[in-house]
Amino acid sequence: MLNPQGSRSTRSPIQTGRLGLALLLAALVPVSAAIADAEGYYVETMNRSAGVMGEAPSEDLSKTYLAYDKMKVVNEGPDATDMIMDPTAGTIVFINHAEKEYLPINVKSVMESMSGPAAEQMRNMMGEMTVKVEATGETKKIGDWNTKQYRVTKTGMMSVDQEIWATEDVDLDVTRYTDMMSLSGPGGMLANSPAGIAQREEMSKIKGYPILTKTKMEMMGTTMETETEVTVIRKEAIPADIFEIPQGYGERDMSVQVSPPGSAHP
C-alpha cells in the first residue's frame, strides 16, 4: 500500500482494517454542531423607505448572518438580491434568486479601475464632503437594548441628515464590512487620503452597534427618507454553506464595467 508521498505503508493489515472501520464510522456518525457550524451572529432588520424615486412607502425585512469572517445579507421581495461579503478575499457577491445567477465583485480591482477624469472628479467631490457627528446625550431603550443618540450631518455633493441610536450592549463590530461598502473607506476612492481619514475618524465617534437609523438625503432636488431598525440580535451556530453560491446558479456575464459599491450599512 502506498501512502500519499508514494512510499510503501508500514501499517499491518489489522491496522489498515481498523483505520477503514474508523473512517466508516466517522462517515456514519453525524458531525456535531460545534464542529460543523461556527458560532456567529444572526440579525434581523426592518428597512423602511419613503420618497425613493416617487415610489410608495415600503417596508421589508433583511436577515444578516455573521460567521467565518464573512457576512451574508438576505433580503425580502421578489426582486431582492442577497449579498455575501468576504473581507479576507476582498469580494462582494450579489445573488439574484429570480434569475438564478450571481455576480462576484473584486472590490480592490474595481477601485483600481476607477481612473480618468470622471473618477478624479468624483474623488474630488467626495473629498469636499464634510462629516459631523454629535453625541446628544439622549438615551432610550429600543427593544432589548439601551441606546445613545447621535446626530450625523454630511454636506457636499449631497445633503444627508441622520439620527442614529446605537448600543454598546452587544459585542458586535461590523467595521470590516461597512468599510468594504464605503467609498470613503480604507479601500475606497478616498482610501487613506486626508479627507478619507477625517471622515472615518468623525464616524468613529459613534460608539456601539446602530439599532435605529433614520436618514434623510437630498440630492438633485429629490428628498429620500429611509429608516432601519434592528429587531433581533442573537448568537447562534451558523452553517458554513450559508455563505456558498446555491447549486445550479450561473455567474452573470458582465460585458460592461461594474460601478463601485456605494456607501451603505449592512
pLDDT, tens only, 90-117: 899 999 999 999 999 888 887 777 667 7
Residues 6+ apart with CB under 8 A from 96: 81, 102, 103, 252
Let me know the angle formed at the C-alpha of 58 by 54 and 63, rounded to the nearest 5 degrees.
135
In a domain, 265, yes or no: no
SS3 177: helix
Are 178 and 106 part of one and the same domain?
A: yes
pLDDT tens, residue by residue, 198-246: 878 888 899 999 999 999 988 777 888 999 999 999 999 999 999 999 9
C-alpha of 182 from chain center:
11
Measured over the CA atoms of residue 197, residue 154, residue 181 and residue 166, the dihedral's sign is positive
Are 172 and 187 part of one and the same domain?
A: yes
Are 4 and 133 part of one and the same domain?
A: no
SS3 200: helix
Nearest-angstrom CA–CA distance, 189 and 167: 30
Are 8 and 54 part of one and the same domain?
A: no
Total domains in the chain come to 2
CA-to-CA dists, residue 125 to 92, 128, 183, 189, angstroms:
25, 5, 12, 11
pLDDT tens, residue by residue, 117-151: 776 677 667 767 788 999 999 999 999 999 999 99
Which range of residues forms the domain containing residue 26? 1-30
Are 98 and 193 part of one and the same domain?
A: yes
Grid cell digits, residue 197: 481619514
Nearest CA-CA partner of 204 in 101, 260, 133: 133
CATH code: domain of residue 167: 2.50.20.10
What pTM was computed for the model? 0.74
Are 109 and 228 part of one and the same domain?
A: yes
